[in-house]
Amino acid sequence: MHKRAIFAGVGAIVLAALVVIPIVLAPGTPAAALPPAEPIAADEQAAIIAAMRPTRHTDRPVIAIIAWNQATELSDFFSAYGVLKRADIAEVTVVAERVDPVQLYPGPKIAPEATIAAFDAQHPQGADYVVVPAMDPGTDRVIADWLVAQHQKGAKIISICNGSRMLAFAGLLDGRRATGHWSAVAELRQKHPTMTFVPDRRYVVDDGVATSTGITANIPIMLALVEAIGGRPAAERTAGELGVANWDARHRSAGFELTLEHKKTFIRNALTFWRRETVGIPLAEGVDEVALGLLVDAYARTNLASVVTLGAGGAPVVSRHGLTILPDRPAESAGVDHLLSPPPTEAPAQTLENELPVVAERYDLPTAKIVALVMEYPWAGVGR
């Protein structure tokens, strides 16, 4: 009887799949390509940079990148760390609640450089800046209270992507102009009605609190911070090394909406489990943090690939700027269906732009469009 129930259940799933899959596999209506976002007026951009300038330690400010031990978004964290450390215009410390490794999602673990308690003991007057990656659901009371305390001490708080949820939970968006990842805007506006959402800007600064849109806004807002601290030449040098053409607040919000085509692709990729694979990314000493974050996210966001990082013998790897990364698996282990090339070292900010056509070829164009949407990346290929 038990076996019959199992077979009946399997049969029901198969029958449902036979009905649903042809629907979700049917081609959707392509979204019309929108023109690129217009550059921001020079006076508006200058005002944004001025609002981000340090007010205490103007020579070598203290920047804390806060991480939640349980789950911190990979690209948000790696891009912020990689850009700021490359620019070398401030003292940057990775801070977590506990000394335990921080689990990034999707991806490996990293070793924090200080606990909240240790950082506070070393910097009793507080940081000059605190960078807040996404830590969904963004409801950790310890971190929220610490952000409020840092802001009260004079720190500027800068969120990346869904890091806005943590700021909102801490009450730091109440009464302020702000933005966030497109998927969280409705929630933020509903739960925090005194927050004023600002469309068509990839980052917004209001009274010592900065917010940004999706994952790929993290590089522009970090370059804006570099400019605010080290001046335009430092930002230009860093942008050139990263492969970034502009970092102003330009954005087109209407280009990032969940269409019927996107929904069908989400469902199709979830149902077609036989297409799923494990993708391996080799890690070596000196791996570029920005490139690694974008490469992992490019495949993990397809909903078709489980991404694992591979290190020789599974040993920790030290990144380009000194971060200790704990790979998911030893490089010698089996179980990887597709092995990617190591993350690039040149123009790392172009990793997603270069990899999206590869994702489209390996899986399909609708899947590559999903990646661009989830990462809120203005990909020209979205109109293909």
Summarised one tens digit per residue, pLDDT across range 111-122 is 999 999 999 999
Identify residue 310 by its one-letter amino acid code: L
Query: How far apart, in Å, are the Cα atoms of 356 and each of 58, 351, 370, 380?
Result: 39, 9, 10, 10
Q: Is 148 helix (H, G, I), strand (E, B) or coil?
A: helix
Which candidate, 312, 74, 331, places its Cα nearest to that of 340? 331
| Preceding amide of 199 cis, omega within 30 | no
Q: Write out pLDDT tens, residues 275-303.
A: 999 999 999 999 999 999 999 999 999 99
Q: For residues 75 and 352, give the distance between their C-alpha atoms in angstroms, rounded to a whole number.
A: 11
Which tokens hold the place of 324? 């200790």
Q: Enter the tokens of residue 7.
A: 């077979």
Distances from the Cα of 313 to the Cαs of 282, 317, 329, 330, in angstroms?
12, 11, 8, 5
Bridge partner list, 305: 277
Ranges of the chain whose pLDDT falls below 50: 1-31, 383-384
Query: Taking a C-beta distance cutoff of 8 angstroms, is the pair 242, 86 a contact?
Result: yes
Q: Is the dihedral of CA 356, 358, 360, 364 positive or negative?
A: negative
**Dihedral sign of CA atoms 130, 352, 199, 195 in order:** negative
Rounded CA separation 309/290 (Å): 15
Give me the chain's average pLDDT, please: 91
Alpha-carbon distance values, 340 to 26, 218, 363 (Å): 30, 24, 15
Q: What is the DSSP string of 307-343?
A: EEEEEGGG--EE-TTS-EEE-SEETT-S--SEEPPPP
Number of Cβ within a 10 Å radius of residue 149: 14
pLDDT digit string, tens, across residues 20-36: 334 334 444 444 567 88
pTM above 0.85, yes or no: yes
Q: Residue 239: phi, psi to the nearest 5? A: -60, -40
Report pLDDT for 32.
52
Q: Where are the beta strands (DSSP E) in the chain?
A: 62-67, 72-73, 91-96, 102-105, 109-110, 114-115, 129-132, 156-159, 177-178, 196-197, 203-206, 209-212, 277-282, 305-311, 317-318, 324-326, 329-330, 338-339
Helices 232-242 and 74-87, packing angle to 10 deg: 120
Is 88 strand, coil or helix? Answer: coil
Note the pLDDT of residue 17: 37
What pLDDT is recorded for position 4? Answer: 38
